[in-house]
């Protein structure tokens, strides 16, 4: 239980109780956790758009992600999971701002009204859509042809979020991501949502974070590494609040 009382944040867990000043990092982390759960229950993440297209992401995550994109300077951003296309438009707009890069969007099914909206968008010149199973050989062949000899490749996994599927995607697309870049295993917040509306009972283990941890344990060329926060005058040093805990799987060698 979380109680905010003036300048105090009180955290009660059974008979135990901890009290923090509201301006402390500990209070911020507790409030962030409550914010994430309340936001999930209220479908808060479904209230945002980017340049006119719905984007089902937290603004906090997007702001952190744009710094990663700007730092990596990818020639290709590969996104698994298209939905309404907002994330593709977000990445494409950054490619335009940087003066380099293109975006490849993969989804098992791209609904006709979403495809139409994406293809008619001003950013579509930076986007290629591929419809198919992300782990199918035919899809991988199309992706490889689109990537070609790109110097830097950044990958976002935001399609099917089961542990086994994400692990398979990590194994497949680790062959395409380039040294110093990342595969981002999104939506590991699932592990903290067991018991919440729309959640499944197995999400405590059946989630992208578990897949990412298992992947790096057996692949020495990759580590889970938080991206650098380039500017910070505050006391919060961790990337929070976020839907993507331990999501940034970085390639450290060829």
Same domain (yes/no): 60, 35: no
- State whether 21 and 89 are in the same domain: no
Rounded to two decimals, what is the model's pTM? 0.94
Same domain, 19 and 141: no
Dihedral sign of CA atoms 127, 130, 135, 139 in order: negative
- Indicate if 114 and 149 belong to the same structural domain: yes
For residues 212 and 247, the answer to whether their CB atoms sit within 8 Å is yes
- Residue 201 has a pLDDT of 97
Residue 241 shares a structural domain with residue 192:
yes
Q: State yes or no: pLDDT of 175 exceeds 70.
A: yes
Contact 80, 158 (CB under 8 A): yes
- Look at 11-15, 81-85, 147-151 and tell me which has the smallest mean pLDDT: 11-15
Residue 12 has pLDDT above 90, yes or no: no
Q: Quick: pLDDT tens for 55-103.
A: 999 999 999 999 999 999 999 999 999 999 999 999 999 999 999 999 9
Q: How many structural domains comprise the chain? A: 2
Report pLDDT for 254. 61
pLDDT mean over 8-20: 82
- Answer positive or negative: Cα dihedral of 135, 159, 78, 213: negative
Whether residues 36 and 65 share a domain: the answer is no
**Do 71 and 180 have their domain in common?**
yes
1: pLDDT strictly greater than 80: no
Three-class secondary structure of residue 8 per DSSP:
strand
**Exposure of 234 by Cβ count < 10 A (0-12 exposed, 13-18 middle, 19+ buried)?**
exposed
Could you tell me if 194 and 68 lie in one domain? yes
Residues 59 and 16 in one domain: no
Do 113 and 182 sit in the same domain of this protein? Answer: yes
CA 17 – CA 141 distance, rounded (Å) = 56
Q: What is the CATH number of the domain that holds 158?
A: 3.40.50.150
Quote the crossing angle between the two packed helices 59-72 and 86-98, to the nearest 10°: 40
For the stretch 187-208, pLDDT in tens is: 999 999 999 999 999 999 999 9
Same domain assignment for residues 32 and 54 = no
pLDDT per position as a tens digit, 98-138: 999 999 999 999 999 999 999 999 999 999 999 999 999 99
Please give the share of the chain, as a percent, with pLDDT higher than 90.
89
Q: Are residues 4 and 73 in the same domain?
A: no
CA distance 30 to 196: 17
Which pLDDT score, from 0 to 100, does residue 10 have?
Answer: 80
Query: Residue 14 sits in which domain range?
Result: 1-42
């Amino acid at each position: 239980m979380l109680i905010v009382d003036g300048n105090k944040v009180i955290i009660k867990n059974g008979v135990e109780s901890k009290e923090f000043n509201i301006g402390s990092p500990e209070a911020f982390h507790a409030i962030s956790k409550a914010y994430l759960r309340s936001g999930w229950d209220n479908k808060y993440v479904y209230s945002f758009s980017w340049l006119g297209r719905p984007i089902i992401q937290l603004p906090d995550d997007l702001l952190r992600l744009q710094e990663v994109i700007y730092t990596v300077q990818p020639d290709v951003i590969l996104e698994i999971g298209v939905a309404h296309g907002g994330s593709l438009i977000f990445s494409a707009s950054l490619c335009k701002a940087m003066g380099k890069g293109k975006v490849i969007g993969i989804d098992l099914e791209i609904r006709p009204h979403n495809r139409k909206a994406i293809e008619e968008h001003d950013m579509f010149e930076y986007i290629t859509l591929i419809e198919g199973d992300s782990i199918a050989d035919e899809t991988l062949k199309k992706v490889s042809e689109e990537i070609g000899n790109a110097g830097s490749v950044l990958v976002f996994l935001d399609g099917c979020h089961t542990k086994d599927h994400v692990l398979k995607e990590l194994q497949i697309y680790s062959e395409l991501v380039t040294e110093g870049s990342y595969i981002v295993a999104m939506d590991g917040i699932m592990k903290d949502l067991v018991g919440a509306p729309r959640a499944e009972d197995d999400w405590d283990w059946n989630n992208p974070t578990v897949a990412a941890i298992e992947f790096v344990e057996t692949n020495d060329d990759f580590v889970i590494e938080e991206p650098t926060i380039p500017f910070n005058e505050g006391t919060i040093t961790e990337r929070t609040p976020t839907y993507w805990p331990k999501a940034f799987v970085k390639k450290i060698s060829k």
